[in-house]
């Protein structure tokens, strides 16, 4: 098997008058070198959990653990429900969106060639019951994904499913579960041991938003019929490319630098991520978590208050040309645009001859739908560029496991470099704790009474603030 | 039938130290009154197409036209495919998401109680073929939605479907189509007349992004089994509420004012729209088009360059607490938050007793999933407020046709007021033309050669800009 073609990064629309200049770049050179050396050192010292993940998961022992599980379900179960939220779900959604049929769960078993996969993400009671009514519990495995097992949304949905399954299948309910969790800590491990429930490990040094290339994302992907070895191979290829390249040819380091420059020196506080392909829609969603949660930080590692981070915006071409492009073209110049271009779709769809087209559409005749969507990307990027807007383009040879693996790893490495350039820790998320504490207080959790009191003591809205 | 409870708007977290003050409000008073009077005048003169839409569509003649069509399909067709993009699709997606079962298309005909509805939006060839393979053309009606009929994505997909259907059903293909288009203009009307294809009108004075409460959104909704009269009734109730209220009790005018203040006087160049309910996820998407395309304008109506518009951001609680909240809490203070709170979900989902819960989760026992998601919203809003962040909350009694109708009309009116406060025309979209021209050029359309030449003449990327 030959390796997949590498991704191409076209940065040309970042440079020139009104955009990034050699002066900007000069001022950044030392920081880029420092970030490069830090990553190299941390990779050598095996300090970056996400960097090790593709190689670790590709070990025969780890691949076999997942393959055996999925094989053991064959003939018994045709549906996998992922119970997880945030980093435990977005990666799986991305893989399913890119690498399975657009209507995977609606296809016949034969056409599908893998299990149906659903996600229980949000703690929305209507969604919960809708899913429950759509599946056949007898034929369903629930993959509960949580490092700690105490994430409120996941734990409460798990408990509810558990109660129902114990009632339905008093003797065999435990066979309907598999946990993806910390190898030692957390509340799911002892429960699994007690009831003989299968478990897979989330490596302790890999955070949720960096965990798609661990069993968190790989097990559901494998169940759906996705080539997970291709994913890992692509990721490993990008890892090598980044480590072996000199600074000026390193696509993660250079692009991280451009993002931080665009923010701190050029006032672009947003990043618009706009693939022109439906199959990358949820890649964007996954990237938005990675970027926002890693870089949106009040304090630098040295304690300075920095209020870092740009806001990622999900867009989708060509759809958002009919929704957001007006704002992008004419509104404030506060955005950095990332286009994703697919060079070869699986299908082409040739347009019909002139006799099927009104005169006004004759120009389409002889072309393909692939050509149209590609022309639209090129036209949008060019038009934005003529307005002086900053952008770059990532070219994927196609949407396939290996190219997606490259793209995933590139995003993780770029985010890591960007964190180091901002001077923040890209691997923590201290800002989400306060909201959790208030929610615990409202739900009556012991030890959080004072948080409830704070909310209770807040004055009621004045009458003229309530319409 | 009694009317649905009205929406409640809680603006209390907009005001106070570091947020909106009475000084801000004072400076805005005259502008608000001017905008109010302008809307009242234009409504009285019947100049605002979107304002008239709910009443117009509720006329028995118009309701019957749609009902007769859907009735005529019964027994023959079980699937409707909407061929449309942007304003011709986002409204339908919103209605389906809010008012049908979460897995509508996967349910049996009996459970579903309406036709399956799919959307052909993007000109992605893989999506096109995936949809084609998922449907049974014999049982499918294609609803082509385009005012002009020349929108490239829609027209090219229509032509491709047309070719295939003519081949499959040489004698009856025309029965598989219905057009929603301009009453007189455009390329679809003459084609329909020639082949006896059913047509519904998009009122000429209603633009795509304001068209959900016309046959554009109402026909697919009715086909899916949605209560479209409830939608129209809710919209009409909100229209009356807005027109009858004094300025200080008008939820569209006051909130439009807060948005424009937050942008122009307080540096918030983003609006984060965050419902805590899966059923409002696509409402957000629809709103993002409405807001961005209406307000993102280079020039005011008097010709001044204003570069107006804030960027709408799609979020979803509680999921994005695990994705974006870190950035919202600790990143730059550049956002205005809109929370949507659902007071009664259809289901509650009571959590199991303590014996099913690990000790750490005992606090959930006796509560419901509805309480948890509501507590999370309250906690997030409170936590953000303690950081001085600006927000307000919209409370929906429940997700149902009448409440959604209110919410839709409120959003349209608020966007209209905001446009008038910025001084821009909220009903045009001049900024999307340039990109279209470049795309026509690239596709070889006659008359657009010079646009292709401009792209061809652009220098190739330098080697060091291509990684």
| Cα–Cα separations (whole angstroms), residue A377 to A316, B97, B196, B451 | 10, 28, 37, 15
What is the pLDDT, as a whole number, of residue A230?
A: 98
What is the pLDDT, as a whole number, of residue A110?
A: 92
Chain A: closest CA distance from residue B322 (Å): 5
- Confidence band of A340 (pLDDT split at 50, 70, 90): very high
Rounded distance between C-alpha atoms, residue A426 and residue A417, angstroms:
9
Neighbouring C-beta atoms of residue B316, cutoff 10 Å: 22
What mean pLDDT do residues B151-163 have?
95
Chain B: closest CA distance from residue A68 (Å): 29
Nearest CA in chain B to A246: B467
- Whether residue A338 is predicted with pLDDT greater than 70 in this model: the reply is yes
Rounded distance between C-alpha atoms, residue B56 and residue B205, angstroms:
12
Q: Model-level pTM greater than 0.90?
A: yes
What is the pLDDT, as a whole number, of residue B27?
A: 87
Q: Give the pLDDT confidence of B392-406 residue by residue, as tens digits.
A: 999 999 999 999 999
Contact B54, B405 (CB under 8 A): yes
- Confidence band of A45 (pLDDT split at 50, 70, 90): very high
What mean pLDDT do residues A227-255 have?
97
What mean pLDDT do residues A193-208 have?
96
Question: CB B125 to CB A313 under 8 A?
Answer: no
Beta-sheet pairing, B270-275 with B335-342: parallel
Contacts of A263 in chain B (CB under 8 A): none
B72 touching A, CB under 8 A? Answer: no
What mean pLDDT do residues A400-429 have?
98
- Whether residue A245 is predicted with pLDDT greater than 90 in this model: the reply is yes
Rounded distance between C-alpha atoms, residue B181 and residue B146, angstroms:
5
B382 touching A, CB under 8 A? Answer: yes
Question: CB B101 to CB A249 under 8 A?
Answer: no
> Quick one: angle between helices A281-295 and A90-99, nearest 10?
150
B131 touching A, CB under 8 A? Answer: yes
Count CB pairs under 8 A between chains A and B. Answer: 480
CA torsion through residues B381, B386, B387, B389, sign: positive
What mean pLDDT do residues A367-384 have?
97
Rounded distance between C-alpha atoms, residue B434 and residue B441, angstroms:
11
Rounded distance between C-alpha atoms, residue A108 and residue A116, angstroms:
10
Question: CB A126 to CB B345 under 8 A?
Answer: yes
Chain B: closest CA distance from residue A348 (Å): 6
- Confidence band of B426 (pLDDT split at 50, 70, 90): very high
Query: Which of A102, A361, A392, A435 to mutate to test binding with chain B, by most B CBs within 10 Å of its CB?
Result: A435
Contact A418, A259 (CB under 8 A): yes
What is the pLDDT, as a whole number, of residue A16?
A: 83
- Average per-residue pLDDT in chain A? 96
- Whether residue B43 is predicted with pLDDT greater than 80 in this model: the reply is yes
Q: Give the pLDDT confidence of B435-456 residue by residue, as tens digits.
A: 999 999 999 999 999 999 999 9
Contact A341, A397 (CB under 8 A): no
- Whether residue A1 is predicted with pLDDT greater than 60 in this model: the reply is no
What mean pLDDT do residues B300-320 have?
97
Question: CB B375 to CB A435 under 8 A?
Answer: no
- Whether residue B1 is predicted with pLDDT greater than 60 in this model: the reply is no
What is the pLDDT, as a whole number, of residue A2?
A: 65
- Whether residue B322 is predicted with pLDDT greater than 80 in this model: the reply is yes
Rounded distance between C-alpha atoms, residue A390 and residue A454, angstroms:
44
What mean pLDDT do residues A99-118 have?
95
What is the pLDDT, as a whole number, of residue B162?
A: 96
What mean pLDDT do residues A33-37 have?
98
Q: Give the pLDDT confidence of B226-243 residue by residue, as tens digits.
A: 999 999 999 999 999 999
Q: Give the pLDDT confidence of B56-95 residue by residue, as tens digits.
A: 999 999 999 999 999 999 999 999 999 999 999 999 999 9
Count the alpha carbons within 13 Å of B354 in the hemisphere toward its beta carbon.
4
Per-window interface: B 152-191 vs A, CB < 8 A: 152-153, 155-157, 159-160, 162-163, 166, 187, 191
Nearest CA in chain A to B148: A360
A307 touching B, CB under 8 A? Answer: yes
- Whether residue A284 is predicted with pLDDT greater than 60 in this model: the reply is yes
Residue of A314, A367, A436, A437 marked active site = A436
| Cα–Cα separations (whole angstroms), residue A369 to A364, A376, B84, B125, B128 | 9, 11, 15, 6, 9
What is the pLDDT, as a whole number, of residue B2?
A: 65
- Confidence band of B331 (pLDDT split at 50, 70, 90): very high
What is the DSSP secondary structure assignment for residue A319, as one 8-state letter?
G
């Amino acid at each position: 098997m030959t390796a997949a073609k590498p991704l191409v990064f076209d940065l040309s629309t970042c440079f020139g008058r009104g955009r990034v200049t050699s002066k900007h770049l000069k001022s950044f050179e030392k920081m880029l070198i420092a970030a490069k050396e830090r990553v190299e050192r941390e990779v050598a010292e095996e300090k970056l959990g996400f960097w090790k993940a593709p190689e670790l998961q590709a070990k025969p022992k780890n691949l076999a653990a997942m393959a055996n599980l999925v094989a053991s379900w064959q003939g018994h179960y045709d549906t996998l429900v992922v119970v997880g939220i945030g980093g435990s779900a977005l990666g799986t959604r991305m893989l399913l969106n890119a690498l399975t049929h657009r209507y995977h769960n609606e296809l016949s078993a034969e056409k599908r060639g893998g299990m149906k996969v659903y996600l229980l993400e949000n703690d929305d009671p209507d969604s919960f019951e809708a899913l429950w009514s759509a599946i056949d519990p007898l034929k369903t495995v629930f993959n509960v994904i949580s490092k700690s097992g105490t994430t409120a949304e996941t734990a409460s949905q798990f408990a509810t499913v558990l109660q129902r399954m114990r009632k339905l299948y008093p003797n065999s309910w435990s066979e309907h579960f598999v946990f993806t969790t910390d190898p030692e800590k957390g509340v799911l491990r002892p429960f699994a041991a007690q009831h003989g429930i299968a478990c897979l490990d989330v490596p302790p040094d890999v955070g949720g938003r960096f965990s798609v290339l661990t069993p968190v994302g790989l097990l559901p992907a494998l169940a759906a019929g996705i080539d997970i070895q291709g994913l890992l191979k692509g990721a490993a290829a990008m890892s090598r490319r980044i480590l072996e390249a000199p600074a000026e040819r390193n696509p993660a380091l250079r692009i991280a630098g451009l993002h931080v420059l665009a923010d701190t020196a050029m006032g672009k506080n947003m990043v618009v991520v706009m693939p022109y392909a439906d199959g990358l829609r949820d890649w964007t969603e996954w990237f938005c978590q990675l970027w926002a949660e890693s870089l949106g930080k009040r304090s630098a590692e040295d304690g300075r208050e920095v209020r870092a981070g740009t806001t990622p915006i999900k867009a989708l071409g060509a759809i958002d040309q009919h929704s957001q492009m007006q704002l992008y073209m004419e509104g404030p110049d506060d955005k950095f645009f990332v286009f994703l271009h697919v060079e070869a779709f699986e299908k082409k769809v040739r347009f019909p001859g002139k006799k099927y087209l009104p005169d006004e559409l004759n120009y389409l005749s002889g072309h393909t739908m692939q050509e149209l969507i590609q022309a639209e990307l090129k036209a949008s990027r060019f038009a934005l560029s003529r307005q002086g807007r900053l952008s770059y383009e990532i070219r994927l040879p196609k949407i396939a496991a290996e190219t997606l693996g490259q793209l995933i790893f590139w995003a993780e490495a770029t985010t890591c470099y960007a964190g180091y350039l901002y001077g923040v820790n890209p691997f923590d998320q201290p800002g989400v704790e306060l909201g959790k504490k208030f929610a615990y207080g409202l739900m009556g959790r012991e030890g959080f009474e004072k948080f409830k009191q704070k909310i209770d003591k807040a004055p009621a809205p004045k009458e003229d603030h309530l319409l």
